[in-house]
Amino acid sequence: MSEEKNNAEAREGVDFIRAKIMADNASGRFGGRVHTRFPPEPNGYLHLGHAKSICLNFGVAREFNGQCNLRFDDTNPTKEEVEYVESIKEDVRWLGGDWEDREFYASSYFDKLYEYAEELIKMGKAYVDDLSADEIRAYRGTLTEPGKESPWRNRSVEENLDLFRRMKAGEFPDGSKVLRAKIDMASPNVVMRDPTIYRIRHAHHHRTGDKWCIYPMYDFTHPLSDSIEGITHSLCTLEFVNNREFYNWVLETLNVYHPEQTEFARLNLTHTILSKRKLIQLVQSGVVSGWDDPRMPTLCAMRRRGVPPEALHEFCRRIGMARSDSTVEYSLLEFCIREYLNAHTARWMAVLDPVRVIVDNFPEDGEEVFEMPLHPEDPSYGTRTVRFTREFYIERDDFRMDPPGKYHRLAPGREVRLRYAFLVTCTSAVLNEDGSVREIHCTYDPASRGGQSPDGRKVKGTIHWVSAKYGVPAKARLYDHLFAMDNPADVPEGKTFLDNVNPDSLREVDIVLEEAMKSLPVGETVQFERMGYFCKDRDSTEDLAVFNRTITLRDTWAKIASKGSM
């Protein structure tokens, strides 16, 4: 799809979900109300896939003057932790999601859900089953074969009620009984073959403590939570398509308020794993330093790496909403990050791979002071002061003993512009024994102050530099994809996705910063001229700043768009 077409579609803002909401509003279906929810399970940190869902649910609510709830889907006591609840709130807030006072928990509805379950039993629509989990699976049948009824399926209402109450009272061990909806073991939809709605788990819950030893299943909890909260549009990912029939069955059978479930394609990204279950393995195995290791696709990692939330909004706007699954190129995310940072960050000079340059005709203790703009196109950023001295650093890569054709940087006999400072001409270089460059000697043109050519002579190259006398040593972490291949979940026999980790995804280097960068606060993202965007990390100390590279400057999007692979 061309970028223009992509843009135009997104700008009109009428993907199929919004179109549906408009139609519902027009027909008065929910009385013109729009009420969505974002329902994370607190079993890990949110990732880029969740950003898509957050932007959709909170975005739709905002656009249609509606509301969006934050609901923790905390039905699984053993995997959920308070730490995750707090991180999820922080991440949703960071992305601009505002749930006001509507912070809800599925676990708050446990009493109500239990009553609903008893109601189903009384209607003859649910029964206690003694089959084991394995037996239930075996009895379920397949896509091509109908299932088989459990021998316990026709227990009387009284017996079912008695057993269910005793399940609740803790009389039975984990896994010995479940409560199942009584629907149709021959249904072509496997989900409808008497799905389990309650199971026994003698486990402590982060909110309800030890009150319960039976817990409702997600498929039963979700429609009822939506109903209790008065949700209108329950938006979920495509893997729930087959669950929609049961969603409707629960609400219809209990004859309660009925929201509508609509599915959209989940986000898949090249080079990226988007599954909390797998991300937790990266954390626990020590492949990364934590959930917010800047190589992770989590929202806290994005934030730590210096990715602004606006870039993620734009990314979500561009990927749009589709009804079938596809994989988005990671470079589209990078494009959105670059585009935002280009317009919204100050420029500084830092040398990542320093080599020393000496200006032989510059006074030994001399210095020249320059006021440099912090943004070339936006004067509102102001300026900073930079001191030029006889010795300074440039990038090792900005010098060649034998320059190839079209190399416009420094080489013996060549003149370059030092950004905002002077024109210098290389006179010689001193080499180490191994042939690497130890130091470079130059002369400068005192008439070229500010980097202007005094007589109209052409100087093609401009390079950045940092004074050796005033520059500040620091560290930079340079990142590459955590997974080099497009689809890291694609694993050969006998391997796991952990074997796909790129061993070169992190490189730490010693760098030199302009002196005034000392005062940059942690969390600030800036451009290192010509080198990329960097964010000051919380690992920085008084003496040593640490910068994470948010992203390089190189833009591959144009190439990708013209190849038509999006």
Binds ligand ATP (CB under 6 A): choice among 30, 35, 52, 155: 52
Of 267-275, 312-320, 342-350, 495-503, the window that binds ligand ATP (rule: CB under 6 A) is 267-275
CA 69 from chain center: how many Å? 21
As a whole number of angstroms, the distance between CA 203 and CA 211 comes to 10
Report the relative pairing of strands 506-513 and 350-351 from DSSP bridges: antiparallel
- Give the chain's end-to-end CA distance (angstroms, integer): 6
Q: How far is the CB of 478 from ligand ATP (least distance, A)?
A: 27
Binds ligand ATP (CB under 6 A): choice among 199, 276, 390, 414: 276
Q: Contact between 41 and Mg ion (CB under 5 A)?
A: yes
As a whole number of angstroms, the distance between CA 94 and CA 481 comes to 24
Q: Contact between 76 and Mg ion (CB under 5 A)?
A: no
Known catalytic residue: 266?
Answer: yes
Take residue 78 and report the two structure tokens written for it.
């053993």
Known catalytic residue: 41?
Answer: yes
Binds ligand ATP (CB under 6 A): choice among 50, 193, 338, 390: 50
Q: Contact between 267 and ligand ATP (CB under 6 A)?
A: yes
Known catalytic residue: 140?
Answer: no
Q: Contact between 310 and Mg ion (CB under 5 A)?
A: no
User: Exactly one of 153, 201, 266, 396 is catalytic; which is it?
Assistant: 266
Q: Contact between 238 and Mg ion (CB under 5 A)?
A: no
Interacting partner of 187 out of ligand ATP, Mg ion, none (Cβ under 5 to 8 A depending on kind): none
Q: Contact between 266 and ligand ATP (CB under 6 A)?
A: yes
CB closest to ligand ATP, residue no:
49
| Cβ–Cβ < 8 Å for 208, 110 | yes
Count of helices and strands (H, E) across the chain: 14, 27
Count residues binding ligand ATP (CB under 6 A).
15
Site residues for ligand ATP, 211-240, by CB under 6 A, read: 236-237
Interacting partner of 126 out of Mg ion, ligand ATP, none (Cβ under 5 to 8 A depending on kind): none
Site residues for ligand ATP, 20-39, by CB under 6 A, read: 39
Please name the amino acid found at residue 187.
S
User: Exactly one of 3, 29, 33, 41 is catalytic; which is it?
Assistant: 41
| Cβ–Cβ < 8 Å for 450, 420 | yes
Binds ligand ATP (CB under 6 A): choice among 36, 53, 69, 107: 53
Closer residue to ligand ATP, CB minimum distance, 6 or 237: 237
Surface-to-core class of residue 515, CB atoms within 10 Å of its CB (0-12 exposed, 13-18 middle, 19+ buried): middle
Take residue 411 and report the two structure tokens written for it.
């080489």
Distances (CA, A) of 123 to 117, 129, 157, 181, 214: 10, 17, 8, 11, 21
Take residue 204 and report the two structure tokens written for it.
């402590």
CA atoms within 13 A on the CB side of 162: 5
Please report, as ranges, the residues that interact with Mg ion according to CB under 5 A.
41
Q: Which residues are catalytic?
A: 41, 266, 276
